[in-house]
Amino acid sequence: GAGVSQSPSNKVTEKGKDVELRCDPISGHTALYWYRQSLGQGLEFLIYFQGNSAPDKSGLPSDRFSAERTGGSVSTLTIQRTQQEDSAVYLCASSLVVLAGETQYFGPGTRLLVL
């Protein structure tokens, strides 16, 4: 497609379960970013990929969070043993290259609710 897509759009899970969130970036974009937005909060940076490698994982809240990117395209964010505080909208963005000032194009997000 023309834009960044994310799936699922909504996910309800029980505390303690694992979830996988998927991001399909714009074709040809080498940079991919994950953010989350908790209720009433701004966008919190989680991790970014340059190609398939993740130079900056500093935003991952805990070791329950991990992400991977394969083939320089699709990325998966995995949250293990979900907690209620993980409830948020998880946003993925991509940009042509990794460069400060490069416009990031966002997907619609995955709304995660942990009961």
Partner 1 sequence: DQQVKQNSPSLSVQEGRISILNCDYTNSMFDYFLWYKKYPAEGPTFLISISSIKDKNEDGRFTVFLNKSAKHLSLHIVPSQPGDSAVYFCAASATSGTYKYIFGTGTRLKVLA
Q: How many H-runs (helices) and E-runs (strands) does the chain carry?
A: 0, 11
3-state percent helix, strand, coil for the chain, nearest multiple of 5: 5, 50, 50
Member of 77, 79, 93, 112 binding partner 1 (CB under 8 A): 93
CB of 3 to partner 1, least distance (A): 9
CB 69 within 8 A of CB 49: yes
Query: For the chain, how big is the Rg over CA atoms in Å?
Result: 13
Pick from 1, 28, 71, 101 the residue near partner 1 by CB under 8 A: 101
3-state secondary structure of 87: coil
Binders of partner 1 in range 58-87 (CB under 8 A): 58-59
Number of residues in contact with partner 1 under rule CB under 8 A: 29
Find the distance separating the first CA and the last CA of the chain, reported in whole Å: 33
Answer for which of 41, 62, 78, 83 binds partner 1 (CB under 8 A) is 41
Selected binder of partner 1 within 4, 19, 32, 114 (CB under 8 A): 4
Binding segment (CB under 8 A) for partner 1, from list 14-22, 41-49, 68-76, 80-88: 41-49
The amino acid occupying position 21 is: L
* Residues found near partner 1 in the complex (CB under 8 A): 4, 31, 33, 35, 40-45, 48, 55-56, 58-59, 91, 93, 98-109
